[in-house]
Amino acid sequence: MRKRIIAFLLIFSMLVPPLVAEPIEYEYEPYTEEEFPIWAHELRRAESIFFGSLAITFPLSMGAYSLATSLGAQGPSEPYQQVLIQLGVAAGLSLIIALTDWIIGAVG
């Protein structure tokens, strides 16, 4: 019986407050062009390009690592070390892609 009372009180305490609360009244104001500095836009673009290209470079680096080890290249025997090497190569490639985009944007 005690569990039912506690369950009822919990459900009651979650359902009643939204019914009696005052609605929040505010107006949406869209962002203006001058609200964020240029470096913040460039950083956001570089971040998007870095993580977006990571989805492509990580499988490519995994394939290249697998191909290299099957052709006789020596690598670590621990699986987590292999993944860290692959992730490091993928992060480096993604960083190069993001920097290349930033340089092209600065020059052009």
> pLDDT in tens for each of the 108 residues of the chain?
899 999 999 998 888 887 777 888 888 888 888 889 999 999 999 999 999 999 999 999 999 999 999 999 998 989 999 999 999 999 999 999 999 999 999 998
Reduced 3-state DSSP string for the chain: CHHHHHHHHHHHHHHHHHHHCCCCCCCCCCCCCCCCCHHHHHHHHHHHHHHHHHHHHHHHHHHHHHHHHHCCCCCCCCHHHHHHHHHHHHHHHHHHHHHHHHHHHHHC
Tell me, what's the pLDDT at 8? 92
pTM over the 0.85 mark: no
Question: Would you state the pLDDT for residue 51?
Answer: 98
Q: For the chain, what are the domain ranges?
A: 36-108
Predicted pLDDT at 40: 93
pLDDT at 18: 78
